[in-house]
Structure formats: C-alpha cells, structure tokens
Amino acid sequence: MKFKKDAIKIIEILKKYYPDATCSLDFTTPFEILVSVMLSAQCTDERVNKTTPELFKKYNTPETVAKADIREIENIVHPCGFYKNKAKNMIACSKMLIEKFNGIVPDNMEDLQSLPGVGRKSANVIMLEAFHNPQGIAVDTHAKRISNKIGFSKEVDPEKIEQDLLKVFPKEYYYDVNHLLVWHGRKTCNARKPNCKECPVNEYCDEYNKKNRHLNIPVLFILYVFGFYYFKSL
C-alpha cells in the first residue's frame, strides 16, 4: 500500500491535470441526487442524465414519487437498466423519507444507509454532493480499478478498498479523491485501453512500473551480451 506522502502527491498531481473534476450527475436538490445515484448503479452517468429530465418533470420530490404508478416510473427509468428494482426502491425510499424523515433527505451516513436502495457508496456520494460534507470515499468501478493499479489497495471488496484509502488520505482530501479517481479512470486509465504513457502519475503506479521492469529485462540482457562480446574482442 502507498505511503501517505505518495498518495497525497498523486492527488495533487491529478488536481492540476483535471482542474474541472466534479460530479457528472445533473441534479438540483438532495432528493434528485439521491434518485440519480440510485439510477447510476450498473449504468453510466451519461445515460442517467438523459433519463432524469423527463423523470424530474413530474417526479422530483418524495411525495410525488411515493404516489406514482410504479409502471410509469419503470417506463421512464427503463434505459438505465434493472428498471423494475430501481423503480421499486425509488418508491419505497420515498415512502420511508416521508414516514421517518418528514420528506427530507437525511444528512448523515447511518440514516442514508437505512433507505431502500442506498448502500455505503451511494451514501458517500450523497453526503459529498448534496451536503458538501464527505464522510468517506465512494468506491465505484473506476476508483476500484485505479486503487488496485496504483497500489492504494490490494483488496477487491469496495468497502475494504475504501478503508485502505481512508488510511492514506486525510479528511481534507476526501472531496478531491472522490472526483479525481473517477475522472482519471474515465479519461486516462480507461478499463479497456489505459493510456499509461500519457498518465501524469505513471511513475507512482505499481502496475505501470511492474510492466516496465519486465520489459526492461530483455533490453538489459541484450546490452549485457553486446558489452561482453565487444570488450572481449578488444
């Protein structure tokens, strides 16, 4: 696992490389980001942003969603995948918000995770984006991949990866880490074709350095053999 000073250096470099890194989901209220995060499970933010304008025209409060016909919600969110489960969670979550929280999205991790369809990753995003009070680091597919490649964590489970990240990043860096790992995963360290040569933090990346060491072995061997016979011929 990375030392804290290296982890912070990596984030400082990424901050300069991605100065506009921020949340890519479109929302205007805590309830809208809650719904958007629900829809983003196994779905791209781009697709969610194409779906929510129609959804939020009619259903943008817990009260309107709680009274909605589930079939209509299903039809609207269908493009986001797993639409039946997402529609069910949206309605159940809205009813709980009304019954337990006076229709207000709670601003703490414990209450957020008590809502249907909201796990720790989603709660982290809501705390960050809706309340500007990050309590942890949301580990999505990008954050997971980057953390493993760079060497922040060797774990596979997102919650265990988050715990490793929290060991090396002070709380004042939570805001940046949440956004930068996602942006780096989308724009440079792509899952299918990572652009390692252009990566601004490749010198700190365990996987990149490991590959380079393996590539350098044949070169060093050739240079050794060439040097041996060259000096032998003198």
Cα–Cα distance for residue pair 32/38, rounded to 1 Å: 10
Which amino acid would we find at residue 197?
K
Which amino acid would we find at residue 154?
K
Phi and psi at residue 65, to the nearest 5°: -70, -40
Q: Which residue in 2, 86, 121, 144 is the catalytic one?
A: 121
For the question of residue 140 being annotated catalytic, the response is yes
Q: Which residue in 140, 149, 164, 176 is the catalytic one?
A: 140
Residue 8: name the closest of 173, 202, 188 by CA.
173
For the question of residue 100 being annotated catalytic, the response is no
Residue 176: name the closest of 5, 17, 2 by CA.
17
| CA atoms 54, 105, 141, 18: torsion sign | positive
Catalytic residues: 121, 140
